[in-house]
Amino acid sequence: MRLLVLGGTVFLGRHLVEVARERGHPVTLLNRGESGPDVFADDDHRDLDQRRGDRTQGEAGLAALGDDRWDAVVDTCGYLPGVVATSARILAGRAKAYCFVSSLSALAVASAHRQDESAPVAELPAGADDTTVTGETYGALKVRCERAVSEHFEGRVLLVRPGLIVGPHDPSDRFTYWPRRISQGGSILAPPPEARIQFIDVRDLADWIVRALEARLDGLVHVTGPRRPMTMGQFIGACDEICGSDAVFTWVTDAFLEREGVAPFTELPLWIPAESGGFLDVDINHALTCGLSMRPLGQTVADTLAWDATRGDDDPVTAGLPLEREQQLLAKWAAEQDGPSEPGGD
């Protein structure tokens, strides 16, 4: 299977390339060469066809593809519908299938749990800017990208909606924060332990995408994990067991975190308020039916820790609470718990 990867040097893309090559598929990359330009510069990757192009420049940005043809395209970095539409249009007659990596942020209703692929999706307001990605427009723009690809690859498009993607080489650190912080030990602020959470190891996602393209799977699939529902308490407990530190956890409430202005997912990774909890509790039965398999959580935690150790202690994670702010919040929580009873209390 000749595979064209749009992107390919950052996180999911680099793992996709490795999985495809391990399974014997020739791979072509198209990217700007700005993010991870040396990822595949060693002798082991001399057979990798790497080309330069900037898709935001329209057809000219795809000129490096020449007149070549592929069995499948994997779009790992499509965010703007106009850019994605151009890629899909140009490749429609030159590729047999197109896999677009979307996001569960495409779902319209954050509060609904166990949503499957038939759930309503986010929409941009009429006349809204569809050329700039913001936190408010990200999901709706992904929906428009899905539609753009489907228009040009009708019946031969695989739309993949992952949730949080985690594991080695994650630039967001929205998972890495927890193993690193727990391994440091001490008093740790933690969100409500009963909250449901979901994520997918990047290597499991990459493996599933390549196998799905081999099987010519099409349609929309929600791809996240784990196989069985997991709570924040179970996740942190597993991290603690792997890390083997002296960590002591203080579990606080949504109300406290929101009142103190803690930013969901970024300042406190894997936490979002209960009213938006549906994004971390979707139905993945279709993905499981389509062959999705997941490695044990302990392996993901251990491998993420091992990769994180290669970065050095002087390379701070890009997500999570700074230690000083965490300790301030812990002190404030403790003071409130030990404070005077409310009028009328026991």
Q: Do 112 and 56 belong to one domain?
A: yes
Q: Tell me the pLDDT tens digit for each residue of 236-257.
A: 999 999 999 999 999 999 999 9
Q: Of 234, 122, 256, which is closest to residue 189 (Cα–Cα)? A: 256
Q: Check whether 271 has a pLDDT greater than 90.
A: yes
Say how far apart CA 224 and CA 288 lie, in whole Å: 10
pLDDT for the residue numbered 35? 87
| Residue range 269-282: mean pLDDT, rounded | 96
Say how far apart CA 100 and CA 212 lie, in whole Å: 12
Q: Do 76 and 150 belong to one domain?
A: yes
Q: Do 143 and 237 belong to one domain?
A: no
Say how far apart CA 267 and CA 250 lie, in whole Å: 16
- The answer to whether residue 23 sits within a structural domain is yes
- The answer to whether residue 105 sits within a structural domain is yes
- The answer to whether residue 216 sits within a structural domain is no
- The answer to whether residue 143 sits within a structural domain is yes
Q: What sign does the CA torsion over 97, 71, 39, 14 have?
A: positive
Q: Do 147 and 12 belong to one domain?
A: yes
Matching residue, tokens 């938006």: 276
Q: Tell me the pLDDT tens digit for each residue of 325-343.
A: 999 999 999 999 975 444 4
CATH code where residue 47 lies: 3.40.50.720
| Contact indicator for 91, 59 with CB cutoff of 8 Å | no
Q: Do 275 and 191 belong to one domain?
A: yes
Q: Do 333 and 184 belong to one domain?
A: yes
Q: Do 130 and 26 belong to one domain?
A: yes
Q: Establish whether the linkage from the previous residue to 226 is cis, with ω within 30° of 0.
A: yes
- The answer to whether residue 208 sits within a structural domain is no
Give the predicted TM-score (pTM) of the model: 0.94
Q: Tell me the pLDDT tens digit for each residue of 276-330.
A: 999 999 999 999 999 999 999 999 999 999 999 998 766 777 899 999 999 999 9
How many structural domains does the chain have?
2
Q: pLDDT band for 44, please (50, 70, 90 cuts).
A: confident
Q: Do 155 and 188 belong to one domain?
A: no
Q: Do 141 and 270 belong to one domain?
A: no
Boundaries of domain holding 13: 3-162
- For 298, the token pair is 């302990």
pLDDT for the residue numbered 46? 86
Distance from first CA to last CA of the chain, Å, rounded? 70
